[in-house]
Amino acid sequence: ARKIILDTDPGIDDAMAIVFAEAHSGVELKAITTVYGNATIENATHNALYLKQYFGLSADIVQGTDKPLQRNPVGPTVVVHGEKGFGDMPVPDVLEATVDGRPAYQYIIDSLKQEPKEITLVAVGPLTNLALALQAEPAIVDWVKEVVIMGGAFGVNGHRGNVTPYAEANIHDDPHAADIVFGASWPVTVIGLDVTEESFYTRPYLDKLRDDAGDVGQFIWDVSRYYLAFYSEYVGMQACHVHDPSAIAYVIEPELFTTRKGPIRVVTEGPAIGHTIQKFDNRSHHYDEWEIASPQNVAVTVNSERLLEIYRQAL
């Protein structure tokens, strides 16, 4: 099994990714490191602890940072993920599960150092913890096995943004951190809206999970009600996109996706703040802004049918 640290802002689709990682035998979920984003850092961590307790996860839960590196904080996306991150699903205020005392970036550094080339970092929230880890210990680029990120949108099939016309939420929350993470010389694969918006959890699919997948199926069904109401009202569809679980699917079966290679830069100011751009041809080679970034993989197609079947089977 591939050992992963999942950096996440739970978050409804984050929870869908966490239970997937736990259920599939191809993944060993070593730790969940939290980040602000869909919810405040306190609520994101509380939700992760709740999942640990409710599903008996062995993963460490580690709290990460509460704000972006430089930009003004965007704040929780209450309309998408609810007041505290899990829609309108009640989560007990008091939990027995507890956090590892280190800050997330330090936990990431320590873990990669301890087990060089063994751990894949999967990030499905704003990239601040990863950027902080890179800044505190640049050598992690050689210790990590692989970095898989849900974030961004590269214009494939017209997918350009979900929080603004030109930005995806995770990157928009901390564009400076994203530019650091994409530019570092470690192997990154980006699973952006280009592919995550090509896969759909329909209402009948989620009903079937509830019927067939026991406690975890019921949980997914419960937590997704609020999310589906958002999609119905604002996106106009009776389904939700498969964002964060797609990053886990890539770890399990990379062949589900095709990718293209090239350096990625992130717009860090102005109306297109958070926009991600990949240079994937040989034109404009003389611009230094593009030479400083390492070539990374961006997913451009996905086998959705198989992805959804793998998810269903795992749960």
- 34 makes contact with ligand BDR (CB under 6 A): no
- 38 makes contact with ligand BDR (CB under 6 A): yes
Q: If DSSP codes are grouped into helix, strand and coil, which group holds residue 47?
A: helix
Q: Which does 162 bind (CB under 5 to 8 A by kind): ligand BDR, Ca ion, none?
A: ligand BDR
Cα–Cα dist 185/279, whole Å: 16
Which residues sit opposite 4 in a β-bridge? 29, 120
Cα–Cα dist 194/13, whole Å: 17
Cα–Cα dist 166/10, whole Å: 24
Minimum CB–partner distance for residue 125 and Ca ion (Å): 5
Query: Nearer Cβ to Ca ion, position 12 or 267?
Result: 12
Site string for ligand BDR, 238-257 (x = CB under 6 A): -----xx-------------
**Options 6, 11, 86, 127; binder of Ca ion; rule CB under 5 A:** 11
Query: Nearer Cβ to Ca ion, position 198 or 244?
Result: 244
- 181 makes contact with ligand BDR (CB under 6 A): no
Contacts with ligand BDR: how many residues (CB under 6 A)?
Answer: 15
- 190 makes contact with ligand BDR (CB under 6 A): no
Exposed/middle/buried for residue 296 (C-beta within 10 Å: 0-12, 13-18, 19+): buried
Site string for Ca ion, 230-249 (x = CB under 5 A): --------------x-----
Which residues sit opposite 32 in a β-bridge? 6, 61
Cα–Cα dist 237/172, whole Å: 24
Tell me which stretch binds ligand BDR (CB under 6 A): 6-14, 26-34, 48-56, 264-272.
6-14
Cα–Cα dist 91/95, whole Å: 9
* b (16+ CB within 10 A) / e for 17-51: bbbbbbbbeebbbbbbbbbbbbbbbebbbbbbbbb
- 11 makes contact with ligand BDR (CB under 6 A): yes
- 150 makes contact with ligand BDR (CB under 6 A): yes
* b (16+ CB within 10 A) / e for 146-156: bbbbbbbbbbb
Cα–Cα dist 12/86, whole Å: 6
Minimum CB–partner distance for residue 11 and Ca ion (Å): 5
- 125 makes contact with Ca ion (CB under 5 A): yes
Query: Nearer Cβ to Ca ion, position 180 or 247?
Result: 247
Closest-approach residue to ligand BDR (CB): 169
**Options 45, 47, 128, 170; binder of ligand BDR; rule CB under 6 A:** 170
Cα–Cα dist 163/271, whole Å: 12
List interacting residues with ligand BDR (CB under 6 A). 11, 13-14, 38, 77, 80, 124-125, 150, 162, 168-170, 243-244
List interacting residues with Ca ion (CB under 5 A). 9, 11, 14, 124-125, 244
